[in-house]
Structure 1
Amino acid sequence: MSRLDHRPGWYPLIVFSVAVLVELMRSSTSGGHVKCWERFAESAARLPERAPDAPGLDLTVYFLGERERVEALSPHVRFVMLRPALATSALMSADGAEDVSDLAPHHRRLAALLPRHDVWHLTHSFAYAATAVRLAHRAARDGARTPRLVASVHTDVPALASVYSRYLADRWLPGAHRRTDEFLSARAETLLRRRRDRLLGACERVLVPTPAGVAELGRTLGADRVALLRRGIDHRRFRPDPTARARLAREYGVPADRPLVLFAGRLDATKGVPLLAESVWRLRARGTAVHLVMAGSGAEADAVRRVLGPDVTLLGTLPQERLAPVYAGCDVFAFPSRTETCGNVVAEAMASGLAVLLPEGARTTQWLAASGRDGVVVRRDDPGDWSDALGALVAQPRLLDAVRHRAAVTARDTHPSWDRVLTEDLLPVWTTPAPSHRSGAPRAA
């Protein structure tokens, strides 16, 4: 049961203590998974101002960190960074662009802290999640108070592991046969998918970012256990800015006399970076004046530089306050990735007034309200198709301006704020057990 709080002020008598487990390293240049929970925590810290009658919430978001420390956002919201027990640093590519996680089977420090919380919210499938599920099962076996386990899906970890295993094979087994790479890739994906599904199976409720994902996972876990957790957008930070183009040229030397195509994310094959680089190369070979701007780092950075030379500007990984004007200074956001569960960078680009190009069938297309009007969907993962779609936009300024304007309108009118998502999607799950939940053992995996 939830703890009692008798302090005067906005809290009701019952306060739900929630632990969100984000087993990724937190920094100013962390990826979308970390940023998502930073935004939700900031929204939770505003709850006293926004909703005095909201359910009482005490929120702790656990990240990984170089050292253990606490960062308070408000009296009832905080970040806690814990040192990893078995960091994945040794498994990363040479440029270290991947997120650092923790592969330990048990995290002793987290295990000591978790019992103070009522709801344990899993967001990944490694050390933190495994520790929480093991503790919950032990509590149920011993007849102790059992926490509520919920989870949310943020990244297609099995699909990412499939690609990264190829990079690691090239690094550790140079010259290995292609079949060896394919075997390792398939094996990694299978093992991690089984692990993820086992951990999700222990949870009373699993949240996913798209309606299609709700239906897909509902067929495995049961429709009553799967719900929607949308992603929000900070409309104050990401918005059109007519002064951003000059700033982009001044600060980064980006040419201001041609259309700018932006990519933001890890520069690796999981994001479709080789496909995008070849597409832009084909456009340039046809004489189309276009320049590619890439915000991020990754294993494909050198290859992109070799392919495009002066026709690409690699900015490296940027914090969001520096990334926002980069969005607003460009014209098109091209994002060939199919591994996203949501793709918040697409929402950020649309809010900044960019025309977006996305793969047909990708989950990122959920951000579009009228495909063809507020964004362009490319049917095949083929460089010819992508170069044609890009070329059609940049060669018709009126069409490009119309798509950019419509994208900003869609973002403003239909993409929810982080405050709204917290209130409508997260708080009901944290404060109300699922109908089938019992205050005993967690569901078996």
Structure 2
Amino acid sequence: MQSRRRLALFLFVVPTGHHEASWRLPHSPAERMYDLDYYIDLARAADLAGIDAVFFADAPALRTRVEHNTGGSVLEPFTLLAALASATSTLGLIGTASTTYAEPYNVARLVSSLDHLSRGRAGWNVVTTAFAGAAANFGTTAHPDRPTRYARAEEFLQVVKGLWDSWAPDAIRCDRATGVYADRSLVRPIDHDGEDFHVAGPFQSARSPQGHPLIVQAGASEPGRAFAARHADVVFSVQRDRDRAARFRTGLRAAAAAAGRGPEALLSLPGISVHVASTSAEARSKQRELDELVIPEHGIDQIRAVTGVDLSGLGLDEVIDHAALRERHGPTGMTRADEILAMVEDGPCTVRGLVRRVAGARTHRVVVGPPEVVADTMETWFRSGACDGFNLLPPTLPGGFHDFVEFVLPELARRGIWHRSQGMLRERLGLPLVR
């Protein structure tokens, strides 16, 4: 295994970039969102740079208004990742699948097949799908509540892992002389009979290279954290404050240990969006160019859809009364909604300013400046125990990612906290293979 004192870096791919206005830039790849060659070029660049993995989010529904935003219109991730597997050699390949609107046998096959085809580079981002509008795409109008979704997810993971484990590592004999391809005693049914699933098994495929492909989870709610402590290898989260990020990571590790796992069983990778250039002025100019392309009405609609907060009656340059806003809404029970309300409390904020903050990287941390400033932030967070690495959210693609590779990666390497790594995805991250 690789040393864990190495910063882990994932690239979160949104077709044109994470800033909502990125598609409006003159040279954006907006016309290439369904072009395989575009994603191959991006994946090869990440592979060549030594990034640990690319990550594709997904939802079983169109979540955003596409009039002003490209973000909700995406390809199915595992189909795309299978194509990228043949175009890359070391890059991890992580796709999203819902435990609420999928079946465990099908998901187990998707991820295991990708792990085989990529020679041990696959990962699955487990989501329970918070978006209620997804229900109407699956023959029902009743979207399950959060406890129901997480109970189903728990059983879903039991089935998937059981299927992956139904072939012993040495089940395949491939003995031509005796005519024995596989030892039947080492290929066992799982006979799962649960609340939501009844799955006989065994699996159709032999055990994949990692044993269990990497499990990623992004829920920051209390049930989400508890679920991650039992099952996840990597946790994505929204963290803007370093001390809070450190407490989040410490809590995850303690919960994982309480669940019978090792104290370093999972990695915490908060999101970070970087505007970097050779000077502070140039970096701020890049951010300003994007911010000025944000359509305020669209941003207000997005905030209302996520939080229930309607800012349309306020002037764009009116300062938001954060105390009144928090008193009116209180804790929403939705992580992203609470993060947006917290952004208003971070400092004086106008409606226009909030819309631009949310458009820049949703509610993730944004760093603007020259390479040294960006590297200072990343090094401080890493060395202080606030994180094990970062999920990179470039404001623009491919340009924002190329800037990070050109300006920031050499600085991180010079400081001794990042280097190229080899091996299967788990090995690159300092995590054990599952035998």
TM-score by length of 1: 0.37
